[in-house]
């Protein structure tokens, strides 16, 4: 080995001010004297008595209270810590085993993890539910009450964040070496409240009652640099090098969370970073005598991990957001290189050690960051660093909306991350040379593909950077991946066809069936055994029972019980009185125009208008309750107006005696993972009605099907695959497909034409427009109505009639309960494919090439 090769310098670079204190941790491992002191402690006994002891110990010594004087929160924290204790030994064992035989691992880089409540999941993973229940009973405590005391960590916006949580669950269950890296936001996704029907956001202070699931390591600080400038200098070997003199620094503090596999003794790690001010920084100002300024600068640094951006799909080029992205990725790569790897690591072997999976473009700044470390800290020349880097990343795209593709202005990049900007230019230069070689004379193509765009301002196209640097690029459902190849990234797929692949999303059956639907789980287990929880393909064995009358009756009983459960939840949580015996029709997802909540609303208004106008005999209408759940991004005007409209329509319909017992709309505020877990198992009908070609995949659609709801949906995202699997007879398809949409848009779409030619549609819109639902105030609905009639970007009016017809088919089908149950059972039996275990298997086989269970 030559000197310039791959040896971590003790003092990595001239650019670094402070030596990370945790480097000492890797010094000679010490030889403990006590026999118990070596190796992980053993798991506490899996008995009721053992559990009681551990629980009381946590309560007394951890919380410092006797049982008799403990609060609900004391009890919850003690229980959480007790269960965490059962996970810890397994966690240490997993880590030790992996250290002894190091293999290539996955670094899953995601700005969001929408975890949901932890307690039940941990109890299930350790098979402690029954023991904990009994142990708490003996202490006079109700486990269910403690479950409800947990505030869910909402560190994500929606689909993308929840997917990351499902994936790390599956990887632990498959014993795959993976660390999830992300941000420990102090405030997660806002809490939604309604004031006079309008959304009002309340901060989500999820840690206010304590964070029993996290293990902070304040001593392990990772330095992260921002701003400043770069300089050239000549190294001892005579080669020119670059150093980055940063303008300001922050420290990354590590918070570990355990990710338990399902009853397999494996516990993986989720590592989230919190920002803290450097001591040097505030000491300097402090000594200068300005105490207030010192504290302010501290706040400035700590702002980085303060709050999750609540925008889902419309990025605003906010500086703090770029700071967040760079912060967590820099911490994660540094942590991987300098903490999980041996000190004598040869960085040329990196591709055999790690694959960083980029969860959308949010962590893409990690690409120039790895380049920077390899070039400036490890002294590799550009070509060598680039060859290594290009093998260490893979990119998942989660969208098709052009406005959701992130770009960062060059001027912001130059100011915040000057060295990275230089490296991006270098990457772009060699990349565009490759393009010119592959397509000589095609300068238009070169411009289209460039990582740097010129309009409306010079900016870095993060999706291009990700695609260029990644081993593989994948979409999240068949249709989505095809559209990525053919439209969004077509130039790239022409150049590198083998780079593009699909991995259809999945959901964890542990949380979204076993935990959330205990009634169905019991029926399944009684029928085909327990194996399905970790092998969801086995649900196929239920198919024959669709023909079994007794089974169908039991299946309906399960649905009825789940409806009772959600009725109780909505009453307690929201004061909503759900009518009984209705078809339960559910649309839950972020509020976005492309998802078309307005279409669902137009359907309800149509049903209502039909009855009150006397056109339709109320006696012939299937009693139906629609449940909406949706948060709007705080700055998304149309989405917020739509929320107001839904609430307005709900208020009038729910109080109109003419439709009593027939139509009802429930819109519980603050839809989140916890509510999803209660709501989805109770649903009869799943609404997946996005405009074809817009929803990348959807994952809610999978959860509903697996819990025995039938889908009414467009040919979009994973709906396509759901329909293929369950069969046309067990799916209500409607609307234009993607080519039809493209054609209509090319032709020039005129929403008013549909309004004028369709009487029911016109009457529904007119009723809203008349102010009927807003106390005569027409102004209050004008934004939504005006948009529908004169803009309608997502072709709501064009798909209206097809949707109404499909809903009529739903009513007819629901009238035959035996046939409906048969279809619902087939939905459960045929959608095992949508387990996130299968998604992970696909990533492992097609992209990561890592070993499991070693
Ligand atoms: C503010 C910037 C921004 C841009 C895009 C924030 C978040 C995004 C995400 C890509 C949006 C998102 O969550 N996409 C969803 O990802 C799910 C998991 O793959 C898919 O199932 C959904 O269809 C897709 O909308």
**54 close to 60: Cβ distance less than 8 angstroms:** no
Q: Indicate if the pLDDT at residue 26 is higher than 60.
A: no
Cα distances from 562 to residues 383, 519, 740, 826, in angstroms, run 59, 8, 39, 19
Q: How far apart are CA 72 and CA 80, in angstroms?
A: 12
Residues 6+ apart with CB under 8 A from 813: 710, 732, 819, 820, 823
Nearest ligand 1 atom, CA 321: 1
Share of the chain above pLDDT 90, in %: 89
Structure tokens given for 262: 């399902």
| 359 Cα to the center of ligand 1, angstroms | 9
Position 3 scores a pLDDT of: 33
Position 16 scores a pLDDT of: 36
Could you tell me the pLDDT band of residue 22, with boundaries at 50, 70 and 90? Answer: very low
Structure tokens given for 63: 């919380």
How far does the chain reach from its first CA to its final CA, in angstroms?
30
In this structure, the strands spanning 452-453 and 459-461 are antiparallel
From 22-31, 75-84, 460-469, the region with the lowest mean pLDDT: 22-31
Share of the chain above pLDDT 70, in %: 95
Q: Indicate if the pLDDT at residue 21 is higher than 50.
A: no
Edge-to-edge order in the sheet of strand 214-226: 214-226, 248-260, 267-277, 178-183, 105-109, 354-359, 393-396, 473-475, 500-502
| 272 Cα to the center of ligand 1, angstroms | 20
Question: Region 153-171: what's the mean pLDDT?
Answer: 98
Angle at which helices 549-574 and 817-830 cross, to 10°: 80
**685 close to 710: Cβ distance less than 8 angstroms:** yes
Collapse the DSSP code of 825 into the 3-class scheme (helix H, G, I; strand E, B; otherwise coil) and give the result: helix
Could you tell me the pLDDT band of residue 40, with boundaries at 50, 70 and 90? Answer: low
Question: Region 289-303: what's the mean pLDDT?
Answer: 82
Q: Given the structure tokens 């920084």, which residue do they identify? A: 281
| 695 Cα to the center of ligand 1, angstroms | 9
Domains of the chain: 13-102+125-149 (no CATH), 524-839 (3.40.50.2000)
Position 292 scores a pLDDT of: 79
Nearest ligand 1 atom, CA 717: 23
| 361 Cα to the center of ligand 1, angstroms | 10
Could you tell me the pLDDT band of residue 173, with boundaries at 50, 70 and 90? Answer: very high
Q: List, as one string, the DSSP characters of 291-335.
A: HHHHHHHHHHHHGGGTB----SS-----HHHHHHHHHHHHHHHHH
User: Does the bond joining 199 to the residue before it have cis omega, within 30 degrees of 0?
Assistant: no
Where are the alpha helices (H) located in 71-128, listed in sequence order?
72-100, 119-125
Structure tokens given for 381: 């020349």
Question: Region 425-443: what's the mean pLDDT?
Answer: 98
Residue of the CA atom closest to atom 1 of ligand 1: 315
Mind spelling out the 3-state secondary structure of 147-186?
A: HHHCCCCEECCCHHHHHHHHHHHHHHHCCCCEEEEEECCC
Q: How far apart are CA 385 and CA 381, in angstroms?
A: 6
Q: Indicate if the pLDDT at residue 349 is higher than 50.
A: yes
**834 close to 761: Cβ distance less than 8 angstroms:** no
Q: How far apart are CA 710 and CA 699, in angstroms?
A: 15
Please provide the average confidence, as pLDDT, over all residues in the chain.
94
Could you tell me the pLDDT band of residue 289, with boundaries at 50, 70 and 90? Answer: confident
**104 close to 111: Cβ distance less than 8 angstroms:** no
Q: Name the nearest CA neighbour of 166 among 91, 108, 87.
A: 108
Question: Region 609-627: what's the mean pLDDT?
Answer: 97
Position 287 scores a pLDDT of: 74
Could you tell me the pLDDT band of residue 161, with boundaries at 50, 70 and 90? Answer: very high
Question: Region 139-160: what's the mean pLDDT?
Answer: 98
Q: How far apart are CA 326 and CA 183, in angstroms?
A: 11
CA atoms within 13 A on the CB side of 48: 9
Q: How far apart are CA 713 and CA 724, in angstroms?
A: 13
| 396 Cα to the center of ligand 1, angstroms | 11
**785 close to 768: Cβ distance less than 8 angstroms:** yes
Nearest ligand 1 atom, CA 316: 1
Cα distances from 432 to residues 371, 450, 497, in angstroms, run 18, 7, 17
Q: Given the structure tokens 């300098």, which residue do they identify? A: 338
Residue of the CA atom closest to atom 22 of ligand 1: 698
Position 39 scores a pLDDT of: 67
Residue of the CA atom closest to atom 13 of ligand 1: 160
In this structure, the strands spanning 583-588 and 154-155 are unpaired
Q: Indicate if the pLDDT at residue 24 is higher than 70.
A: no
- Residues involved in catalysis: 398, 589-590, 595, 699, 703
Position 5 scores a pLDDT of: 33
Angle at which helices 782-790 and 637-654 cross, to 10°: 110
> pLDDT digit string (tens) for 629-663?
999 999 999 999 999 999 999 999 999 999 999 99
Nearest ligand 1 atom, CA 696: 23
Q: Which residues line ligand 1 (CB under 6 A)?
A: 157-160, 163, 311-315, 360, 398-399, 404, 476, 505, 695-699, 717
Hey, which of 308, 320, 360 would you mutate to test ligand 1's pocket, going by the most ligand atoms within 8 Å of its Cβ?
Answer: 360
> pLDDT digit string (tens) for 484-510?
999 999 999 999 999 999 999 999 999
Could you tell me the pLDDT band of residue 29, with boundaries at 50, 70 and 90? Answer: low
Distance of CA 215 to the CA centre of its chain: 22
> pLDDT digit string (tens) for 806-825?
999 999 999 999 999 999 99
Structure tokens given for 305: 């991990």
Hey, which of 182, 313, 324 would you mutate to test ligand 1's pocket, going by the most ligand atoms within 8 Å of its Cβ?
Answer: 313
Position 279 scores a pLDDT of: 74
Structure tokens given for 617: 């005999």
Angle at which helices 418-438 and 462-469 cross, to 10°: 60
Position 746 scores a pLDDT of: 97
Residue of the CA atom closest to atom 3 of ligand 1: 313
Could you tell me the pLDDT band of residue 281, with boundaries at 50, 70 and 90? Answer: low
Q: Indicate if the pLDDT at residue 17 is higher than 80.
A: no
Question: Region 117-133: what's the mean pLDDT?
Answer: 98
Residues 6+ apart with CB under 8 A from 558: 517, 519, 520, 523, 708
Collapse the DSSP code of 657 into the 3-class scheme (helix H, G, I; strand E, B; otherwise coil) and give the result: helix
Q: Name the nearest CA neighbour of 521 among 681, 704, 673, 678.
A: 681
Could you tell me the pLDDT band of residue 282, with boundaries at 50, 70 and 90? Answer: low
Position 30 scores a pLDDT of: 63
Q: Indicate if the pLDDT at residue 20 is higher than 50.
A: no
Q: Name the nearest CA neighbour of 23 among 256, 370, 378, 334.
A: 334
Residue of the CA atom closest to atom 5 of ligand 1: 313
Q: How far apart are CA 648 and CA 781, in angstroms?
A: 10
The C-alpha angle 712, 716, 719, rounded to 5 degrees, equals 55
Nearest ligand 1 atom, CA 162: 18
- 303 burial level (CB within 10 Å; 0-12, 13-18, 19+): middle
| 111 Cα to the center of ligand 1, angstroms | 11
């Amino acid at each position: 080995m030559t000197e310039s090769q791959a040896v971590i310098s003790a003092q990595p670079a001239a650019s670094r001010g402070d030596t990370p204190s945790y480097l000492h941790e890797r010094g000679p491992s010490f030889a403990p004297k006590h026999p118990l002191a070596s190796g992980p402690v053993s798991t506490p006994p899996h008995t009721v008595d053992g559990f009681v002891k551990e629980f009381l110990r946590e309560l007394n010594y951890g919380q410092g209270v006797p049982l008799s004087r403990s609060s609900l929160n004391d009890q919850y924290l003690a229980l959480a810590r007790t269960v965490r204790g059962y996970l810890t030994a397994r966690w240490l064992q997993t880590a030790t085993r992996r250290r002894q035989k190091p293999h290539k691992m996955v670094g899953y880089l995601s700005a969001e993890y929408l975890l949901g409540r932890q307690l039940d999941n941990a109890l299930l993973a350790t098979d402690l539910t029954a023991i904990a229940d009994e142990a708490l009973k003996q202490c006079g405590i109700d486990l269910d009450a403690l479950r409800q005391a947990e505030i869910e960590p909402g560190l994500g916006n929606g689909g993308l964040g929840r997917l990351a949580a499902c994936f790390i669950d599956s990887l632990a269950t498959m014993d795959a070496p993976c660390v999830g890296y992300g941000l420990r936001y102090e405030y997660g996704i806002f809490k939604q409240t309604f004031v006079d029907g309008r959304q009002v956001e309340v901060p989500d202070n999820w840690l206010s009652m304590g964070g029993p699931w996290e293990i902070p390591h304040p001593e392990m600080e990772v330095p992260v640099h921002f701003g400043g400038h770069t300089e050239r200098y000549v190294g001892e070997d005579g080669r020119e090098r670059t150093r980055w003199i940063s303008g300001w620094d922050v420290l990354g503090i590590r918070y570990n969370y355990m990710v338990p596999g399902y009853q397999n003794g494996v516990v993986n790690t989720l590592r989230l970073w919190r920002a803290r001010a450097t001591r040097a920084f505030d000491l300097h100002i402090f000594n200068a005598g300005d105490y207030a300024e010192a504290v302010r600068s501290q706040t400035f640094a700590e702002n980085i991990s303060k709050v999750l951006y609540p925008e889902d799909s419309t990025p605003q080029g906010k500086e703090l957001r770029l700071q967040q992205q760079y912060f967590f990725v820099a911490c994660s790569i540094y942590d991987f290189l300098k903490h999980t790897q041996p000190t004598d690591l040869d960085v040329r072997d990196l591709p055999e050690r790690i694959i960083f999976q980029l969860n959308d473009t949010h962590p893409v700044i990690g690409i120039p960051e790895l380049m920077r470390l390899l070039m400036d800290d490890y002294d590799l020349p550009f070509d060598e660093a680039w060859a290594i880097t290009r093998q260490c990343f893979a990119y998942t795209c989660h969208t098709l909306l052009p406005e959701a593709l992130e770009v960062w202005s060059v001027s912001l990049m130059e100011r915040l991350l000057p060295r990275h900007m230089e490296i991006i230019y270098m990457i772009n230069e060699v990349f565009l040379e490759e393009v010119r070689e592959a397509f000589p004379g095609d300068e238009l193509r070169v411009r289209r593909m460039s990582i740097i765009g010129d309009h409306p301002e010079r900016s870095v196209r993060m999706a291009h950077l990700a695609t260029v640097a990644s081993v593989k690029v994948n979409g999240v459902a068949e249709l989505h991946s095809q559209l990525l190849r053919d439209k969004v990234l077509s130039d790239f797929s022409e150049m590198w066809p083998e780079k593009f692949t699909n991995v259809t999303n999945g959901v964890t059956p542990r949380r979204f069936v076993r935990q959330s639907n205990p009634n169905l789980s019991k029926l399944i287990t009684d029928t085909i055994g327990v194996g399905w929880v970790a092998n969801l393909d086995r649900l196929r064995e239920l198919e024959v029972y669709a023909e079994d009358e007794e089974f169908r009756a039991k299946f309906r009983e399960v649905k009825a019980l789940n409806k009772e459960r959600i009725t109780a939840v909505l009453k307690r949580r929201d004061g909503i009185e759900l009518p009984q015996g209705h078809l339960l029709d559910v649309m839950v997802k972020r509020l976005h125009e492309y998802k078309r909540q307005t279409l669902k609303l137009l359907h309800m208004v149509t049903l209502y208008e039909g009855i009150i106008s006397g056109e339709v005999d109320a006696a012939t209408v299937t009693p139906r309750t629609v449940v909406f759940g949706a948060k709007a991004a705080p700055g998304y005007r149309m989405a917020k107006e739509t929320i107001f409209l839904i609430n307005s329509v709900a208020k009038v319909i729910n109080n109109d005696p003419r439709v009593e017992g027939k139509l009802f709309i429930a819109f519980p505020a603050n839809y989140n993972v916890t509510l999803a877990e209660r709501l989805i198992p109770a649903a009869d009908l799943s609404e997946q009605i996005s405009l074809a070609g817009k929803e990348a995949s959807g994952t809610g659609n999978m959860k509903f099907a697996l819990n025995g709801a039938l889908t009414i949906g467009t040919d979009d995202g994973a709906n396509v695959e759901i329909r293929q699997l369950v069969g046309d007879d067990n799916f209500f398809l409607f609307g234009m497909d993607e080519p039809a949409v493209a054609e209509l848009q090319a032709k020039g779409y005129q929403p008013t034409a549909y309004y004028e030619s369709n009487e029911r549609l016109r009457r529904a819109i007119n009723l809203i427009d008349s102010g009927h639902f807003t106390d005569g105030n027409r102004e209050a609905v004008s934004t939504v109505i005006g948009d529908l009639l004169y803009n309608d970007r997502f072709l709501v009016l064009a798909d209206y009639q097809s949707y109404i017809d499909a809903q009529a088919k739903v009513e007819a089908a629901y009238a035959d309960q035996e046939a409906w149950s048969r279809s619902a059972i087939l939905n459960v039996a045929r959608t095992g494919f949508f387990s996130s275990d299968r998604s992970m298997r696909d990533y492992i086989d097609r992209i990561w090439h890592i070993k499991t269970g070693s």
